[in-house]
């Protein structure tokens, strides 16, 4: 069986290293994972007043999450936490209360930063929300990809052999996790 994986990128920047990582992983994915980036930059800011009648872009996004078997978050760290644009997307698909699109979906978290600690703060703040959203999150291997400013070549390939091998290991573990936990 092949599982549909929604890949969420926590940066809207055109040359985002997190988007480069997402694209590299989509290209590296085993056949059992149909990975595709689900865009979040078009989403309006979440407003609880709209719960009964959400904006169309928010409905469409929530539907895309609902129709996915699993989620993979690839995010930068902003001020030691999750970028607002990603938190907004998470909030949108979590509501109205009791009708969360995230519930029970297996997840993985990768943080990518030019900095030395690889977005550890964002990675773990994100995990805090995923606990509440009842998403089983892959624990090992953890993926804090630091020093990533020069990680990709002009074709978007991971230049560094050890990082590429690590990401292959991560994907293999994630594939097993999704296979075990997807509904």
The 3-state secondary structure of 44-100, one letter per residue: CCCCHHHCCCCCHHHHHHHHHHHCCCEEEEEECCECCECCHHHHHHHHHHCCCCCCC
Contact call for residue 113 and ligand FNR (CB under 6 A): yes
- φ/ψ (deg, to 5) at 108: -135, 155
Neighbours of 117 (CB within 10 A): 14
**Interface of this chain with ligand FNR, residues 43 to 72, rule: CB under 6 A:** none
- Retrieve residue 59's tokens: 């409905």
Interface with ligand FNR (CB under 6 A), residue from 7, 77, 86, 145:
77
Q: Tell me how far, at minimum, the Cβ of 128 lies from ligand FNR, in Å.
A: 16
Interface with ligand FNR (CB under 6 A), residue from 114, 136, 147, 179:
114
Q: How many residues bind ligand FNR (CB under 6 A)?
A: 14
- Retrieve residue 181's tokens: 């936990």
> Kindly report the CA angle at 25 between 22 and 28, in degrees rounded to 5?
155
Contact call for residue 166 and ligand FNR (CB under 6 A): no
Contact call for residue 147 and ligand FNR (CB under 6 A): no
Contact call for residue 84 and ligand FNR (CB under 6 A): no
Q: Is 158 helix (H, G, I), strand (E, B) or coil?
A: strand
Contact call for residue 156 and ligand FNR (CB under 6 A): no
Contact call for residue 16 and ligand FNR (CB under 6 A): yes
CB closer to ligand FNR, 32 vs 42: 42
Q: Tell me how far, at minimum, the Cβ of 50 lies from ligand FNR, in Å.
A: 27
CA dihedral 130, 135, 140, 146 (to 10 degrees): -40
Judged by CB under 6 A, the stretch of 53-61, 76-84, 101-109, 174-182 that binds ligand FNR is 76-84
What is the contact surface with ligand FNR in residues (CB under 6 A)? 11, 13, 16-18, 76-80, 113-115, 119
């Amino acid at each position: 069986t092949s599982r549909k994986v929604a890949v969420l990128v926590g940066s809207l920047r055109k040359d985002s290293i997190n988007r480069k990582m997402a694209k590299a992983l989509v290209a590296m994915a085993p056949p059992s994972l149909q990975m595709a980036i689900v865009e979040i930059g078009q989403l309006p800011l979440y407003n609880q007043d709209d719960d009964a009648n959400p904006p169309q872009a928010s409905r469409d996004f929530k539907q895309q999450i609902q129709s996915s078997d699993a989620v993979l978050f690839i995010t930068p760290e902003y001020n030691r936490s999750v970028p607002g644009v990603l938190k907004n997307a998470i909030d949108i698909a979590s509501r109205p209360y009791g009708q969360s699109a995230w519930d029970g979906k297996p997840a993985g978290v990768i943080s990518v930063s030019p900095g030395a600690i690889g977005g550890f703060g964002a990675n773990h703040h994100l995990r805090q929300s995923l606990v509440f959203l009842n998403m089983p999150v892959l624990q090992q291997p953890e993926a804090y990809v630091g020093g990533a400013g020069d990680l990709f070549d002009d074709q978007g390939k991971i230049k560094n052999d050890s990082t590429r091998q690590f990401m292959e290991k991560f994907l293999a573990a994630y594939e097993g996790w999704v296979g075990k936990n997807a509904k």
